[in-house]
């Protein structure tokens, strides 16, 4: 970070999976943290939103985090507005669609 010069040394064993090779290639070819994170998301998948898996196929059936990034921004703003204007409706909706997992997203 910042203007100071830095070095990153990555150590690995020869028996790498194709995914691991692809991830190292991205880091080798770019120093843009956002581009690296985006490529990693594409390679590994986002994992669970309400669970412990940090990679793999998400529980989403229709949405794609990369393709729908702009839509997610609009959805977030709409959700914040609804939460402010009618928190009881939000509570009811979370209970209906998420059951006890809805407890994990309460603020």
Distance CA 2, CA 99 (A): 45
Q: Where are the domains of the chain?
A: 1-44, 62-107
User: What local confidence, expressed as pLDDT, does residue 10 receive?
Assistant: 85
Please provide the average confidence, as pLDDT, over all residues in the chain: 79
Q: In this predicted structure, what is the pLDDT of residue 29?
A: 92
Is residue 49 scored above 70 in pLDDT?
no
If one counts every other C-beta atom within 10 angstroms of the C-beta of residue 40, the result is 16
Q: In whole angstroms, what is the distance from residue 91 CA to residue 88 CA?
A: 5
Interval 7-26 mean pLDDT: 88
Report the C-alpha gap between 10 and 8 in whole angstroms.
6
Q: What percent of the chain has pLDDT over 70?
A: 74
Res. 52: pLDDT tops 60: no
Q: What's the CA gap between 93 and 101, in Å, rounded?
A: 12
* Whether residue 53 has pLDDT greater than 70: no
| Rounded distance between C-alpha atoms, residue 80 and residue 107, angstroms | 11
- The answer to whether residue 82 scores a pLDDT higher than 60 is yes
**3-state DSSP of 47-105:** CCCCCCCCCCCCCCCCCCCCCCHHHHHHHHHHHHHHHHHCHHHHHHHHHHHHHHHHHHH
Residue 80: is its pLDDT beyond 80? yes
Percentage of the chain with pLDDT > 90?
14
């Amino acid at each position: 970070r910042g203007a100071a010069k830095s070095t990153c040394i990555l150590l690995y064993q020869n028996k790498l999976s194709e995914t691991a090779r692809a991830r190292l290639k991205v880091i080798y070819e770019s120093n843009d943290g956002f581009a690296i994170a985006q490529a990693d998301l594409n390679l590994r998948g986002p994992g669970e939103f309400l669970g412990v898996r940090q990679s793999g196929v998400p529980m989403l059936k229709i949405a794609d985090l990369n393709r729908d990034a702009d839509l997610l921004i609009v959805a977030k703003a709409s959700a914040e507005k609804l939460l402010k204007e009618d928190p009881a409706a939000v509570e009811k909706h979370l209970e209906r669609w998420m059951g006890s997992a809805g407890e994990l997203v309460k603020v």
